[in-house]
Amino acid sequence: MTKTIDKNDYYYDNIKFILIFIVVVGHYCEKYSESTLLNGVFTFIYSFHMPLFIFLSGYFSKNIESQRIKDVRNLLIPYLIIQVLYFVILALANPAYKWSLLLPLGANWYLLGLFVWRMLAPYFRQTKYALFYAIGIGLLVGLLPDLNQTLNLQRIFTYLPFFIFGYQFNGNYKEKLLFKSTWFPIAFWLIFVLFVVSGLYFPEIVSVIKKWEITLYPYTGNISEKLYQLSGRFMFYSISIIISFLFLQMIPDRKTVYSEAGKNSLYVFLFHMFFIYFFIAVVPYKYAVTELLAIPVSIILTLILSNKFVISILEPIIYPWKIKEKFYLRKK
């Protein structure tokens, strides 16, 4: 039997930290869309960061058939809790805000998506053409006009191929996907530069790629326009795979100063948007300053939310039953 990667492997911890840091940077850039520089960076980040995250989630979901009940407890209950937290904050900011449990807010859609993917994945295992079926679903789901923002199902099914790809991937992905070549990191940064330059001088190119990346909404327009958008979604799949492959080559396979923090990426993912919303509310866009703050603000926020002390505060919020478990252990 081919050996698979260990969840406690430093490479996996490193990639989780770097990816979640990129997620924070991406959301920072998204909220300051008036910056052409940040717009290019945002488009580049969104071309691969979630597809790669979801691939890894699928890769480490090999035993999902044995923990269906745990998924309800560990994914759906935290989803509901985070939804309520968003509602309370948004209602305080805007009493007229219309709220729904069926409309995931912030990054909360990922918990719901992970639950859906894990429920569906075992059924794909029964065929060797699982990935092709998943790609077909991801492309054709855009033709369903009624599958809009409700539960973010349009986005969830669009990302389904990446989860199935990871779920069906056999063996150790480090052994199969990583190559010791300096050309791959160079290619990654060249693509990054192309995105940034396009954002600054050729915004129409970035605009087209952003339309390919839109996974939240179904296709619109007449048949030819819908087919164009479908082909754009396929291009998004292709670009995501290429950039993700290049990105994997740059992750250090050793213990780093951020390896331990990588174990807590879920908390960063779920809670960082609360702070991003607050930051953009109190710090308006200012040319050059906003761009320079992107990296330090994202690093600080990622480190804070992955800190063990902060985790000890956040964990009981999304997993309230752990309060009882800790109390029981102390009493014992």
Quick check: is 87 in a domain? yes
Quick check: is 106 in a domain? yes
pLDDT at 33: 86
CB contact at 8 A, 167 and 59:
yes
pLDDT at 150: 79
Over 90: is that where the pLDDT of 64 sits? Answer: no
Mean pLDDT of 20-26: 95
* pLDDT tens digits, one per residue of 72-107: 888 999 999 999 998 888 888 777 777 777 888 888
pLDDT at 66: 56
pLDDT at 2: 44
Domain that residue 122 falls in:
10-331
Quick check: is 185 in a domain? yes
Q: What percent of the chain has pLDDT over 70?
A: 93
> What angle, rounded to 10 degrees, do the helices at 223-248 and 183-201 form?
140
Render 133-174 in DSSP notation, one character per residue.
HHHHHHHHGGG-TT-SSGGGHHHHHHSHHHHHHHHH--S-HH
Quick check: is 34 in a domain? yes
pLDDT at 227: 95
Quick check: is 4 in a domain? no
Q: Which residue has better confidence, 241 or 4?
A: 241
* pLDDT tens digits, one per residue of 305-321: 999 999 999 998 888 88
pLDDT at 125: 82
pLDDT at 71: 83
pLDDT at 17: 95
Quick check: is 2 in a domain? no
Over 60: is that where the pLDDT of 332 sits? Answer: no
Q: Which residues of 242-267 are buried (b: 16+ CB within 10 A; e: fewer)?
A: ebbbbbbbebeeeebebbebbbbbbb
CB contact at 8 A, 184 and 246:
yes
Quick check: is 3 in a domain? no
> What angle, rounded to 10 degrees, do the helices at 36-45 and 10-31 form?
140
* pLDDT tens digits, one per residue of 155-172: 999 999 999 999 999 888
- Would you place residue 327 in the very low, low, confident or very high pLDDT band (cuts 50, 70, 90)? low
pLDDT at 1: 36
- In 3-state terms the chain splits into helix, strand, coil percentages (rounded to 5) of 75, 0, 25
**Cβ within 8 Å of residue 25, ≥6 positions away:** 41, 45, 294, 295, 298
Mean pLDDT of 258-276: 92
pLDDT at 247: 96
- What is each CA distance from 199 to 42, 51, 192, 195, 206, in whole angstroms? 9, 22, 11, 6, 6
Domain count of the chain?
1
Quick check: is 152 in a domain? yes
